[in-house]
Amino acid sequence: VVVSGVSEDPDLANRNGPYSFALGPNPTVQRDWRLQPLNDSHAYLTLALHWVEPGEYMVPVVVHHDTHMWQLQVKVIVCRCNVEGQCMRKVGRMKGMPTKLSAVGVLLGTLAAIGLTHSSHTQASFSFLCSRTWPWQGRTWISQQTACL
């Protein structure tokens, strides 16, 4: 983040540098952030840590110019980025959207329907393939269906 020391205050007639920058006195701010001069009027604010919890941070930066001093609150948003370098936003569950439980229910229902359809076709075709008819005692015909699995 580039921090500008140039004030919009008309009372500061001399807006030319040099400006000096310092982090606020909070020890956590001192530990988590670094401020490096970029030129006479700007500084570069970076994270001192490799990782911080994603979120919105207000980083106090003290600016000195001539005899004047003021504090800026620099808003920094730390987020995970997508492949385009843009922040990915965390979204909550949307109403009406499927849940894990409903997805499992749909999957089980589909498998049950496939199983019932498959088993009825299997039984019909196997009954056809496995049916045998034998003559019994000369005149009576007995039809026997075997269970073919």
- Convert 61-88 to b/e letters by CB count within 10 Å (16 or more is b): bebebeeeeeebebeeeeeeeeeeeeee
Q: Is the pLDDT of residue 91 over 50?
A: yes
What confidence tens digit (pLDDT) does each residue in 13-70 have? 566 668 889 999 999 999 999 999 888 888 999 999 888 888 899 999 999 888 888 8
Pairing status of strand 55-65 against strand 19-23: antiparallel
Q: Is the pLDDT of residue 133 over 50?
A: no
Q: Which fold does the domain 2-78 belong to in CATH? A: Immunoglobulin-like (2.60.40)
Lowest mean pLDDT among 2-6, 75-79, 114-118: 114-118
- Helix or strand run (H / E) with residue 147: none
Question: pLDDT value at position 11?
Answer: 62
Q: Is the pLDDT of residue 6 over 70?
A: yes
Q: Per-residue pLDDT averaged across 67-77, rounded?
A: 88
DSSP secondary structure letters along 58-74: EEEEEEEETTEEEEEEE
The boundaries of every CATH 2.60.40.60 domain in the chain are: 2-78
Supply the pTM of this predicted model. 0.54
Per-chain mean pLDDT for the chain: 72
User: Taking a C-beta distance cutoff of 8 angstroms, is the pair 90, 80 a contact?
Assistant: no
